[in-house]
Amino acid sequence: MAKIADLSRSAVTSDSRQPSTLLSVDHGHVEINFEGKVAVVTGGSKGVGLEAARQLASSGAQVVIGSRTVTEELAQLRDEMGVLAVRVDLSKAEGPARLIATAETERGGVDVLLNNVGASEPGPTLADIDDAAWQRVFDTTFFSAVRASRAVIPSMVARGGGSIVNVSSINAKLPDPAIAHYSAAKAALSNLTKSTAIELAPHRVRVNAISPGPIRTPFWTSANGFAAIVADAAGTTPQEVIDEVVPQRMGILTGRFSLPQEVAALAVFLASEVAANVTGADYVIDGGALKTV
């Protein structure tokens, strides 16, 4: 491993296509380092966004989190690790641009953008999901990423490059009638990832996506979460839905939901220069639920 690392370091030249720092290898240990970088996370008050913010800050990044509320967990992270929490409604047209502008003003620019915020309003059938619900889900899940990415491009280009990671979903390829609007929004986000990766490559801005399967977050576990809805329909308990019903019905090979910190770690990896030659990719983390090639 040391020899490979030495070769990698020697290959870094003045070529603008090469990363400024590749990775740190110490006795086989690969270290992700965000020292001197500014990272913006949308929807970071809980779940994957909160965990990603924690990991980014632990790796040296100055982290700016945008969310509608400052949860107890986010307040603790702010106090312990110095992250900047910005109250903002990212579903509104002006929200994402205001978040990016705040990061630029308070931290000097943006190197990493994690488009994590999303929303779903499950309905039993397509007929139950009205136009307003479609608009809310698309505004939060898709257009927030469009607007944040659009706002951050000038900063990243001016700083010589950057990384955008979009949190999509296996529902982009595995539609669920109960969340047709959410599945469609995630499919649009996956497509956006590919197109922006092509567009921004000349500017050394990488764009990737991650597509999680079910994650053990409040979306599933809260009192009014999706597990409770499925439990009512299946005549069982929310806990059994999470532990048995969903893993079995979806064919999750590992037999369990992903944990927020596992999904966050994949996003942080893609944002880092350890993945410096990865762009336009969509990484699935679903315990083996998606079987297509």
Q: What is the spatial distance between Cα 179 and Cα 278, in angstroms, rounded to a whole number?
A: 30
Q: What is the spatial distance between Cα 185 and Cα 168, in angstroms, rounded to a whole number?
A: 9
Residue 64 phi/psi, 5-degree rounding, is: -120, 125
Residue 49 phi/psi, 5-degree rounding, is: -60, -45
Looking at residue 164, its amino acid is I
Reply yes or no on whether 182 is catalytic.
Answer: yes
Residue 284 phi/psi, 5-degree rounding, is: -90, 135
Query: Given strand 282-285, what is the order of strands in its sheet?
Result: 84-87, 62-67, 38-42, 112-115, 162-167, 205-212, 282-285
Contacts of 249 (CB under 8 A, 6+ apart): none
Kindly name the residue from 34, 138, 143, 182 that is annotated as catalytic. 182
Residue 256, both tokens: 């369990």
Q: What is the spatial distance between Cα 247 and Cα 196, in angstroms, rounded to a whole number?
A: 33
Are 176 and 137 in contact by the 8 Å Cβ rule? The answer is: no
CA distance readout (Å), 259 to 25, 87, 163, 213: 27, 26, 23, 10
User: Cα angle vertex 120, ends 110, 197, to 5°?
Assistant: 35
**What residues are annotated to the active site?**
182
